[in-house]
A and B are shown apart, each in its own frame.
Chain A
Amino acid sequence: MRAAARLDTVPRLLEGIVRFRSSDRLRLAGPPPDTLNDHLQRYGHRPRRSAQESISALATAGLSGRGGAHFRAAAKWQTTLAAGGGGYVVANAAEGEPCSAKDAALLQHRPHLVLDGLATAAEALGARGSVVWLHEHARESQEAISRALAERRASGLIESPVRVLTGPDRYLTGESSAVINALGGGPAVPVFTRTPAARAGLGGLPTLVQNAETLARVALLARTNGYGEQPGPLVTIVSPGTLTVAELSPYATVEDILRPVDTVLVGGYAGRWVRWPALAGQPLGGLVPDLGPGVIAPLPPDACGLTETAAVLDYLARSSARQCGPCLFGTRALADTMARVADGTARRADVRRIAGLIGEVGGRGACGLPDGAAQVTGTALAVFADDVDRHLHGRCLHPGAEPFLPIPVGHR
């Protein structure tokens, strides 16, 4: 009876909002973290599910990977299972996208939900090892997950042991082939492979790398068998200096949550610039794949979209693993040319050059970094076309504007 009553309402991943300082993802405000007791009262015990039950729950709900790529989770699990399982499962919380803090919010407020999802995956796929993968300076998240693991051990939960491991604080550290390479003792940089990790990953064994939010959703799906309404998108809203994480209703639109602006960057630095009217009336539930890792960044009225784009491209070029020629040279060339457009020193030929570079870098790396750079650039040229013209004539509407987007410093 009690369990049935619990299913009457849509379970939530996160209540309230969590705020972070955007420069270093220091948590500024949010609800207190769940203890194991809070967690059990809120969600009940983690049910035992067979592999097929788990996979059919993921398929019924149509769960997609919330790290940003939105690959179908059910297909990934099926591949892992078909390859015989017995490998590794990884909760990926190395949140490389500087605009996103949803994984940090989950780990710091609902760590047991992520761990439930990881345990469900480990059981379904007969894993020999479970890992939570994080950035090395994400101290608060590391502490929260370690505390949660200690609570679970102390309470006598029988689960396969989980290791908490970290990699460098870089954009590509959470890229799934980079995660596997790092766990295998190599550098945390992407690897070119023709075999999906789900079939042969770490140590040649089937390896499931799944984003932390995806696993939190797995934990809820296991409880409902995939039926019933699922929690709405978990989004990070970017404003100058602050990242605000909230779970929104799938029926909400950006009009419900934001003051109107001309343009919005959706999906983060590998995402796209979109004009307000194209976005305004759309329910967020239908925009989930476009939101990438759940990022909504409205361009403030006093910011310059081309300056923002140039800063994003410079960050992506600095974040390149410098392994693939087209990315090493092309992403850098995109960044340098866009910087000239932004500062008003470019000529018309430079804009044509950017259009050509987009074609030369897209799809030509071992990972998605150059594709993301191409996409954010292409949408910037389209959406800010009038602004490009003004800049070619040496006029910026917001001269000297500093980027409002969080751009990490450092790297090459």
Chain B
Amino acid sequence: MKLLVDPVACDGIGMCSHLAPALVNPDSWGYPIVSGETLGETDLRAARAAVAACPRRALLLDDVPRSGRQTAPVERK
């Protein structure tokens, strides 16, 4: 699995580079540059934490649907 940034959604808040400094480098303006490498076991844990913490839901793991966003109608009773 690899990290991926949605550059439209990203506002450069910087949670990701704070939580996963080994995987995410901020550029000159604070926007994340992620390593394109396939993540190992340990890195994956940090990556998941960073993905979960992004207030813009802009950090993603490829092959994983974006979380925290309604993708199907919620059934109401």
Contact = CB atoms under 8 A, between A and B. Distances in A.
Nearest to A323: B8
A317 to B, nearest CB: 14
B22 interface: no
A184 to B, nearest CB: 16
A38 B60 CA distance: 54
Contacts of B6: 192, 366
Main secondary structure of the interface of B (DSSP, over half): loop
Nearest to B66: A194
B8 A329 contact: no
Of residues B4, B7, B28, which shows the largest number of chain A Cβ atoms within 10 Å of its Cβ? Answer: B7
Interface string B37-59: 00000000000000000000000
A287 interface: no
Interface string B18-40: 00000000011111010000000
A329 B29 contact: yes
Contacts, number: 45
B24 to A, nearest CB: 13
B28 A366 contact: no
Interface string A328-363: 011001000000000000000000000011001000
B33 A364 contact: yes
Interface in A104-123: none
A324 interface: yes
A102 to B, nearest CB: 30
A191 interface: yes
A364 B10 CA distance: 11
A47 interface: no
A192 B8 contact: yes
B28 A329 contact: yes
Contacts of B4: 194
A326 B8 contact: no
Given A330-B29, A360-B28, A325 B7 contact: yes
Interface of A: 190-192, 194, 323-327, 329-330, 333, 356-357, 360, 364-366
7 contacts: A192-B8, A194-B4, A326-B31, A333-B28, A364-B33, A366-B6, A366-B8
